[in-house]
Amino acid sequence: MKRREITVKSILTRTGIEGFDYCINPYIGCEHGCTYCYASFMKRFTGHHEPWGMFLDAKMNGPDLLEKQLKNKREGSVLVGTVTDPYQPAEEQYRITRGCMEALKDSPLEVNILTRSPLCLRDMDIFEGFGHIEVGVSVSTDREEMRALFEPSAPSIESRVMALKTLHAKGVRTYAFIGPILPLNPSALVELLVGAVDKALIDRLNYSHKVSALYRREGLTRFLHGDYYREAARMMRAGFEEAGVPVSVLFGCDDGVGGPVNRANPMGGYL
Ligand code: SF4
């Protein structure tokens, strides 16, 4: 893993992601290195040649810069972590995300943060003081062996569910981002999440070419079919709705399970 400390000219940037005005990415690269990660395109824009997951640039001046950039902002919404995980292992050392959250806490912006890591619990003290914040945790399967296969450097499913439960119990608004739908047991995953989240978002795997060889090698190609995504989404939607948890399916389905196909949907294809 190659870590670098850098300074940047901007940290709060406009985004085309539907439902958000701005995004913040405290790092370039991601130590979680998920096999299917859409964000690996960042290599092209940042001059990195290392494999995705093997480099990380920490935006050291991020919090100070954000404070300045927030001065003239009167309203809007920001998604933290569109092409990196804000609570990946390096954050324990650098605390850049924490600094950004401190700056955002006193701003008028609505904040939405998405991670795969229970390290977000460290910043509970900041979340509790926020006016508008939602903390999302990506949980793409209930099966730990699938997590280990597709997200080998990311935290366990159990630790992510624990993070959601802890946040929820403290009154922080939470959501589960079930995306991409990896091989999973829909009922078991719903059961894990009910009681820990205020809502759920579900998305299919949008960039399957990145992992199709891995699916083939592991004999999992049936989990790449549109029928699998539709049925898994239908079952999870029914389970969440029965439990009174609002749920959005972010990919289009002929049978009306989801909304229209939207590549710029919140987080779809990003995390
Ligand atoms: S999917 Fe998210 S957590 Fe995984 S490598 Fe990409 S940015 Fe990091």
Q: Whose CA is nearest to atom 7 of ligand 1?
A: 84
Residue 131: the pLDDT is 84
- Which tens digits make up the pLDDT trace of 140-177? 999 999 999 999 999 999 999 999 999 999 999 999 99
Specify the DSSP class assigned to residue 213. Answer: H
**pLDDT given for residue 253 in this prediction:** 60
Distance CA 268, CA 239 (A): 21
Q: Report the separation in Å between the CA atom of 242 and the middle of ligand 1, taken as the mean of its atom positions.
A: 30
Which residue lies with its CA nearest to atom 2 of ligand 1? Answer: 271
Confidence bin at 39 (pLDDT 50/70/90): confident
Best mutation site among 24, 28, 85 for ligand 1 pocket (most ligand atoms within 8 Å of CB): 85
Q: How far apart are CA 139 and CA 175, in angstroms?
A: 10
Take residue 95 and report the two structure tokens written for it.
Answer: 């605390």
The CB of 133 under 6 Å from ligand 1? The reply is: no
110 pLDDT band (50/70/90 cuts)?
Answer: very high
- Report how far ligand 1's centroid is from the alpha carbon of 149 (Å): 14
Please work out whether the CB of residue 42 comes within 6 Å of at least one atom of ligand 1. no
Measured CA to CA in angstroms, residue 45 lies from 42, 87, 187, 197 at distances of: 5, 22, 40, 35
Which residues does 22 contact at the CB level (< 8 Å), separation at least 6?
Answer: 12, 13, 14, 15, 76, 77, 78, 79, 109
Q: CA 174, 100, 171: angle at the middle one, nearest 5? A: 25
Q: Is the CB of 160 under 6 A from ligand 1?
A: no
Ligand 1 contact, 236 CB (< 6 A): no
Is residue 84 a contact partner of residue 45, using CB atoms and an 8 Å limit? no
Residue type, 121: L
Q: How far is the CA of 74 from the centre of ligand 1 (A)?
A: 31
pLDDT higher than 50, residue 260:
no
Residue 168 near ligand 1, beta carbon < 6 Å: no
For 44, residues 6+ apart whose C-beta sits below 8 A from its C-beta are: none
Closest approach atom of ligand 1 to CA 81: 7
Which of 27, 28, 32 maximizes ligand 1 atoms within 8 Å of its Cβ, making it the mutation to test the pocket?
32
- Using the atom order of ligand 1, give the atom closest to the CA of residue 115: 3
Q: Is the CB of 84 under 6 A from ligand 1?
A: yes
> Nearest-CA neighbor of 264 among 17, 41, 20, 79?
17
- Pocket flag, ligand 1, residue 30 (CB < 6 Å): yes
CB 230 less than 6 A from any atom of ligand 1: no
Confirm if 233 and 181 have CB atoms less than 8 A apart.
yes
- pLDDT, one tens digit per residue, over 176-202 is 999 999 999 999 999 999 999 999 999
* Ligand 1 within 6 A of CB of 80: no
pLDDT digits (tens, 9 = 90+) for 225-237: 999 999 999 999 9
The pLDDT value recorded for residue 42 is: 81
